[in-house]
Structure 1
Amino acid sequence: MATIELTAENFTAHVEGDDILLVDFWASWCGPCRQFAPIYEAASEKHGDIVFGSVNTEEQQELAGAFRVTSIPTLMVFRENVLVFAQPGALPEQALEQVIAAVRGLDMDDVRRQIAEQNGQQG
């Protein structure tokens, strides 16, 4: 599956509707973004069961702001409507594959339990 363009209009639908969603926040003027793009695209072709999206931070400034993206590229991963990974910086292919494997291996019931515990302690 090729990378899809995410916008303010379709972002929530993908987060809520896709089992695993990787999101690359990028800009055309960003050198590291251009270096990461072919790695990200190749991973999208390799992992057809995962949705790979990209957010052009120049065109989608409100969306980037809503996620407090201050450095690009930034990679975020949502699984079952939960943000499970967020990290700025271009990843080499092997590191991206490790992130994908780790996200696939998550016990989402345990993740939700941990979030509930954290929210209980904070509130």
Structure 2
Amino acid sequence: MATVTLTSQNFQETIEKNDLVFVDFWATWCGPCKAFGPIYDKASGSNKDIVFGKVDIDQNQELAAAADIQAVPTLMIAKQGQIIFKQAGALRASDLDDVIRQAREVKLDEGAKEPVNQ
């Protein structure tokens, strides 16, 4: 599956209506974002059960502020509507694969969340 462009209009619905959502907050001027982009896109093609979204922080400043994004790239993961992971910095492919594995394994209790540790 190709990555999905997320905006203020579809962000919340995407998080709430999908079991596992990865969100890459990025910017066109960001060197690490350019390096991480192809890794992220490749992972989206290999993990059809996960929604991979991208938020251009320059085009969606209010959304980036609401998500408290302080640096790009920042990877955020939501599982069953709950944020379980948020980390700034580009990941290597092997590290992203590990985060994907861990996110799949997270078990959520009623109203509780268990963060993914890297």
Query: Which bin holds the TM-score, normalised by the shorter protein?
Result: over 0.9
Shift of the 114–7 alpha-carbon distance from structure 1 to 2, 3 Å rule, reads closer
Measured in 1, the distance between the counterparts of 2:28 and 2:75 equals: 16
Percent of counterpart pairs with the same letter? 44
Q: In the alignment, does 2:57 pair up with 1:57?
A: yes
- Aligned position for 1:120: none
Which one has the largest radius of gyration? 1
Measured in 1, the distance between the counterparts of 2:67 and 2:31 equals: 21
- Aligned position for 1:84: 84
Count how many residue pairs are aligned between Structure 1 and Structure 2.
114
Cα deviation code 1:97-121 (max 9, x no counterpart) = 11110010011127x3468xxxxxx
Q: Is the helix fraction higher in 1 or 2?
A: 1
- Aligned position for 1:34: 34
SS at match of 2:53: strand
Q: In the alignment, does 2:46 pair up with 1:46?
A: yes
Report the TM-score when normalising by structure 1.
0.89
Shift of the 9–64 alpha-carbon distance from structure 1 to 2, 3 Å rule, reads same
Moved over 6 A (4+): none
Measured in 1, the distance between the counterparts of 2:89 and 2:113 equals: 27
User: How do residues 64-83 of structure 1 correspond to structure 2 at under 5 angstroms?
Assistant: 64-83=64-83
Alpha carbon RMSD of aligned pairs, Å? 1.3
Structure 2 stretches of 5 or more lacking a match?
A: none
- Aligned position for 1:96: 96
Measured in 2, the distance between the counterparts of 1:58 and 1:86 equals: 19
Cα deviation code 1:67-97 (max 9, x no counterpart) = 1101000000000000000000000001101
Report the TM-score when normalising by structure 2.
0.93
- Aligned position for 2:9: 9
